[in-house]
Amino acid sequence: MASLSDSRSDFLFRSDLEQVAPFVADLIRWEEERQARKLIMIPSESSAPKAVRQALGSVFQNVYAEGYPPLRMTRDPEERL
């Protein structure tokens, strides 16, 4: 039987934004509509394609990677990695 803390963490980590924070989900929807209606000429506010936004919001957000892999990893065959 799952404990109460397990069900809370499951709710936080597996639920959609709409369930966890409906107001934030609404804000995102409204901002998406606003950006679609207007021509924004500020370079720092340029629109990213939907596929890029989906990738940025994926599980890869949880991975920290910077720089190049160590030489030992680049010399190993791909199957070993």
Confidence of residue 25 (pLDDT cuts 50, 70, 90): very high
**Domains in the chain, number:** 1
Instruction: Please report whether residue 81 resides in a domain.
Output: no
Closest CA to 47 of 32, 25, 30: 32
Confidence of residue 22 (pLDDT cuts 50, 70, 90): very high
What average pLDDT does the structure give for the chain? Answer: 81
Instruction: Please report whether residue 71 resides in a domain.
Output: no
Instruction: Note the pLDDT of residue 77.
Output: 77
Residue 53 has pLDDT above 80, yes or no: yes
Mean pLDDT confidence for 58-74: 77
Q: What is the pTM of this model?
A: 0.56
Instruction: Please report whether residue 73 resides in a domain.
Output: no
Residue 2 has pLDDT above 60, yes or no: no
Tell me the C-alpha to C-alpha distance, in Å, between residue 2 and each of 9, 13, 14, 20. Answer: 11, 15, 15, 20
Residue 18 structural domain: 4-60
